[in-house]
Amino acid sequence: MKIRILLALIAITLMPAFAAEKAPWTAGVATAVITPEQPMPMAGYGARKAPATGKDQDLFGKALAIEDQKGNRVVFITLDLIGVTAELRTAVEQGVHEKYKLPPHALVMNASHTHCGPAYGRPEVKDYFEGLVKKLIATVGRAIEASEPAHLSYAQAKCGFAMNRRTPTDEGYRNHPNPKGPVDHTVPVLRIDNAEGKLKAVMFGYACHNTSVGYLRWLGDYAGFAQQYFEADHPGVTAMFMMGCGGDQNPYPRGTAEWAAKHGRALCTAVEAALEVTQRTLRHQNQIQGPLKSVMETVSLEFRTKDREDFDYPVQVIQFGNDLSMITLGNEVVIDYVLRLKRELGRADGPEIWVSGYSNVYSGYIPSKRVLLEGGYEARSRPWKDALEERIIAKAHQLFGKVNKEK
């Protein structure tokens, strides 16, 4: 009886004060299981040659459709996968455009970068890839169909298990936990309530590799556990994870599934903190108003070697009125990008800045100029020219300015 009373009190405190106001948005969510049903090679560690032996956790693809009062729509797809390959992005983008008239700039695809997911881009697993595309397109459709009047709000908290993994030594920078290295422990949370103020979904982020473990079992790692725990604690609510700029960040301690579960619980607790669970008065739930704007363009990145063609790198901005600006960057982006963009674009009278890496394309690391000059694993990944960082930041500034030009 006491437990039921406590849960009821928590549910009451979760209801925001704006629940009685007219809902300014419509939103819908849908989920699909994307766990391979047959043995498949795994992504993330080249040393693993054998296929997965089974699952410890299902992998999911989730879709969140949001529309403002003027009919502007954006769809977020989050995935328990190593990354969003160009082939997957193109296939899903074309499918949702044909079926649901969603323009490419209004589609966000973000992967959690779990290292216990399938290597789905290989020719020998074409059937899985084709099935994955169909599932994701259908999931977007179900999210749109499930849309109902909604309130959106933004908040953030902190979580501490991510640590910079670049340690300077006499032999150069080594992959080792560096407690003095740059990090971003912010946990941004987008909250979706229905018209009556009942929690419907949360989408949250964190900047850290999903590499707590690397065995031969399907697992969403800490991000998978965080979503699992939150949904178990809030029946009927969908939890979605947006990977941040964690290219040079690892979870510590690490090495076992038990650590993945512990980190997942820590992240889930941070989401609860951002929602101000157990607080009678909510003071940090920042209501989000429209209009909704989205824009995506590519910037040409150059390699130092002549045998490589320039890379068309996608940068995307999703703007929620003057309240929240979500900037998505492709590939494995190091932490310097989120720290710099929040520093340069954030202001007291403007939108909150949320930066996500691992979005819309996946083909290696995006180091900052600092990391390129220092060397080490992330710098060796691709022979980029030093202008890499400035070109990406300039494009983010340009698109941010474009969506903020008219208030």
Rounded average pLDDT over 123-132 = 96
Is the model's pLDDT at 5 over the cut of 90? no
Query: pLDDT at position 47, please?
Result: 81
pLDDT at residue 20 above 90? Answer: no
Whose tokens are 């090679």? That residue is 41
- Region 212-226: mean pLDDT is 96
Q: What integer is the mean pLDDT of 122-149? A: 97
Provide mean pLDDT across the span 164-184.
97
DSSP letters of 12-64? Answer: HHHS-GGGGSPP-EEEEEEEEE---SS---BSS-TT--SPP--BSS--EEEEE
CA distance 201 to 190: 8
Residues 46-73, mean pLDDT to the nearest whole number: 94
- pLDDT band, residue 48 (cuts 50/70/90): confident
Q: Are 17 and 193 in contact (CB under 8 A)?
A: no
Q: Confidence class of residue 350 from pLDDT cuts 50, 70 and 90?
A: confident
Which residue, 94, 95, 90, 81, is CA-closest to 125? 81
In tens, the pLDDT along 252-281 reads 999 999 999 999 999 999 999 999 999 999
Residue type, 94: Q
With contact defined as beta carbons under 8 Å apart, do 329 and 298 qualify? no
Are the C-beta atoms of residues 83 and 113 closer than 8 Å to each other?
yes
Per residue in 87-110, pLDDT (tens digit) is: 999 999 999 999 999 999 999 999
pLDDT of residue 396: 98
Asked if pLDDT for residue 2 goes beyond 70, the answer is: no
**Residue 14 pLDDT more than 80?**
no
- Is the predicted pLDDT of residue 10 greater than 70, yes or no? no
For the cut 60, the answer to whether the pLDDT of residue 383 exceeds it is yes
Split at pLDDT 50, 70, 90, the class of 19 is low
- pLDDT at 235 exceeding the cut of 60: yes
pLDDT of 6 strictly over 70? no
Taking CA 288 as the corner, what is the angle to CA 283 and CA 289, rounded to the nearest 5 degrees?
Answer: 135
In the predicted model, what is the mean pLDDT of residues 190-213?
A: 97
Q: What is the mean pLDDT of the chain?
A: 94
Mean pLDDT computed over 7-14: 51
What does the pLDDT read at residue 21? 72
Lowest mean pLDDT among 42-51, 120-129, 372-381: 42-51
- Stretch 154-178: mean pLDDT, rounded? 97
pLDDT one-digit tens code per residue, 323-343: 999 999 999 999 999 999 999
Q: Tell me the average pLDDT across 348-368.
A: 95
The predicted pLDDT at position 405 comes to: 82
pLDDT at 49 (0 to 100): 86
Residues of the chain above pLDDT 90, percent? 90
